[in-house]
């Protein structure tokens, strides 16, 4: 072997400790450790490996062995010559032999510790789990996430939302004089006061001034120098229960002096926003929105009340709503009758400057693309919120019901000329919108039961574009 020849001690703790530190093989018979197992020639089955050990001997240990071999040979020749072993009569070692073995063992341990690196460097390569094939498939599902670069992040901004010239400006920081000079839409004078005794809010529309000249969208307007303004009042977010002043003919400085009350609790009124919309009336064209004023009621003293001059700002709603119609539908399969109830309408478009409107409703049954029957309600004078409560019945066999359509058209009665068109909807096979389709579907699913629903009126052009049944009626 390559290390210093030590006495083959059979007993003693020192012998077992030296063998344990310097050897890696264990003999089962004598419990001694030796690289060659020279103490006894045993078979491979009797040799037990103490492990686990690395597949190869570390380089620092190989270097130690070679240096120890050279150093020990010199040391054996010069300092500690080998002498025959002499045992004491009782079979034990002498004290000189024990001290020599101890000195050699301590020197070898210190030499190994000095040569061993204090912190070995381990090169660990990244481990990639997967199957080595032409097409790699992930072991676990993963969510693909897009990596946004700074350019992608800033590309999401919409500059027009932050532009000072945008129609959605924040005008809260501007004074009324600045708003008036910027938009030049005029000013509106109004007041508010809450009555705690009767629990209602009173809104008074007083006057307006410096309104702009009218705008004609289709060139049919005759007087381009004067407007016919009126004001619509509502408490946001509820736009259905709105009020409307009378129309002031041919003036840019209308005086209204009209009061309107809203039945609403005080705490609820403080959460609402007062919206005043100035509209230009045109008998031969659609009405045009001039401007609007919005006031959060939480910012004013409702009990004390007050009046203000406010500059008008542009409205995103350029067209005025045509109004709403409440209808009830009922079908009787046994009798083959389709019953229609025209209950009421509200906030209809005003068709007469002086009297508001004289509205009535025309109901027309269309089978496929053929007009079958026409009926109409009576007209009510001078109102835009008429109550009809009139019933009509049409004979429609059950096998023909799926091909039927009902066209409802609201007109303003006119004694001198043709009636003024206000709005239209179509319910049935060729419905004019999702709301109308939903009403018809509910009626088909609930026979013998009346189904009521509000409908927003649409323009003639919109109905003609989406419903073939609208093209078959006048």
Distance CA 145, CA 166 (A): 35
Report which of residues 31 and 176 the model is more confident about.
Answer: 176
For the chain, percent of residues with pLDDT exceeding 70: 58
pLDDT on residue 418: 78
In this structure, of 314-318, 386-390, 398-402, the range with the lowest mean pLDDT score is 314-318
Q: Where are the beta strands (DSSP E) in 347-419?
A: 359-367, 370-376, 387-395, 404-412
> Among all chains, which residue has been given the structure tokens 């030796």?
34
**Does 3.40.50.720 match the CATH number of domain 322-470?**
no
**Do residues 35 and 47 touch, judged by C-beta distance below 8 A?**
no
Count helices and strands (H / E) in the chain.
9, 18
- The overall average pLDDT reported for the chain is 75
Q: How many CB atoms lie within 10 A of CB 191?
A: 14
Distance CA 395, CA 426 (A): 18
pLDDT in tens, 87-96: 444 444 555 5
Predicted TM-score (pTM) of the model is 0.51
CATH value of 174-215+224-309 in 2.60.40.150, 3.40.50.300, 3.40.50.510, 2.120.10.30? 2.60.40.150
Domains 174-215+224-309 and 322-470 alike in fold: yes
Residue 199, sorted as left (phi over 0), alpha (psi -120 to 50) or beta, turns out to be left
Distance CA 100, CA 120 (A): 33
Domains of the chain: which residue ranges?
Answer: 174-215+224-309, 322-470
């Amino acid at each position: 072997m390559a290390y210093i020849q030590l006495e083959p001690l059979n007993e003693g703790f020192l012998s077992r400790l030296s063998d344990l530190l310097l050897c890696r093989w264990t003999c089962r018979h004598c419990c001694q450790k030796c690289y060659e197992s020279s103490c006894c020639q045993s078979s491979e089955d009797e040799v037990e490996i103490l492990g686990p050990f690395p597949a190869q001997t570390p380089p620092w240990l190989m270097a130690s062995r070679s240096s120890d071999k050279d150093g020990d040979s010199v040391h054996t020749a010069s300092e500690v010559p080998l002498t025959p072993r002499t045992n004491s009569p009782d079979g034990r070692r002498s004290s000189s032999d024990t001290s020599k073995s101890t000195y050699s063992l301590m020197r070898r341990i210190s030499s190994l510790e000095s040569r061993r690196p204090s912190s070995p460097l381990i090169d660990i390569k990244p481990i990639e789990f997967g199957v080595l094939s032409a097409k790699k498939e992930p072991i676990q599902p993963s969510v693909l996430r897009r990596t946004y670069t700074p350019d992608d992040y800033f590309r999401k901004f919409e500059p027009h939302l932050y532009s000072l010239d945008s129609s959605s400006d924040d005008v809260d920081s501007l004074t009324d004089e600045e708003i008036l000079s910027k938009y030049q839409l005029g000013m509106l004078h109004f007041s508010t006061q809450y009555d705690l005794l009767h629990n209602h809010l009173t809104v008074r529309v007083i006057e307006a001034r410096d309104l702009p000249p009218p705008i004609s969208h289709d060139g049919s307007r005759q007087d381009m120098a004067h407007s016919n303004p009126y004001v619509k009042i509502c408490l946001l977010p509820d736009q259905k229960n709105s009020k409307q002043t009378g129309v002031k003919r041919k003036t840019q400085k209308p005086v209204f002096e009209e009061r309107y009350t809203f039945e609403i609790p005080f705490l609820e009124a403080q959460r609402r926003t007062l919206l005043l919309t100035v509209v230009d009336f045109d008998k031969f064209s659609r009405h045009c929105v001039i401007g609007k004023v919005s006031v959060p009621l939480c910012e004013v003293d409702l009990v004390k009340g007050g009046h203000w001059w406010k500059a008008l700002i542009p409205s995103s709603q350029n067209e005025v709503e045509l109004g709403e119609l409440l209808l009830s539908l009922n079908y009787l399969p046994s009798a083959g009758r389709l019953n229609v109830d025209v209950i009421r309408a509200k906030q209809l478009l005003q068709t007469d400057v002086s009297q508001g409107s004289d509205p009535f409703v025309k109901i027309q049954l269309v089978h496929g693309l053929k007009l079958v029957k026409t009926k109409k309600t009576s007209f009510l004078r001078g109102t835009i919120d008429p109550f009809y409560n009139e019933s009509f019945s049409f004979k429609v066999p059950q096998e023909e019901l799926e091909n039927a359509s009902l066209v409802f058209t609201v007109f303003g009665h006119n004694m001198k000329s043709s009636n003024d068109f206000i709005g239209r909807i179509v319910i049935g096979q060729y419905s004019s919108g999702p709301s109308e389709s939903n009403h018809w579907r509910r009626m088909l699913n609930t026979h013998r039961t009346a189904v009521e629903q509000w409908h927003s009126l649409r323009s003639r052009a919109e109905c003609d574009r989406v419903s073939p049944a609208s093209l078959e009626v006048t």
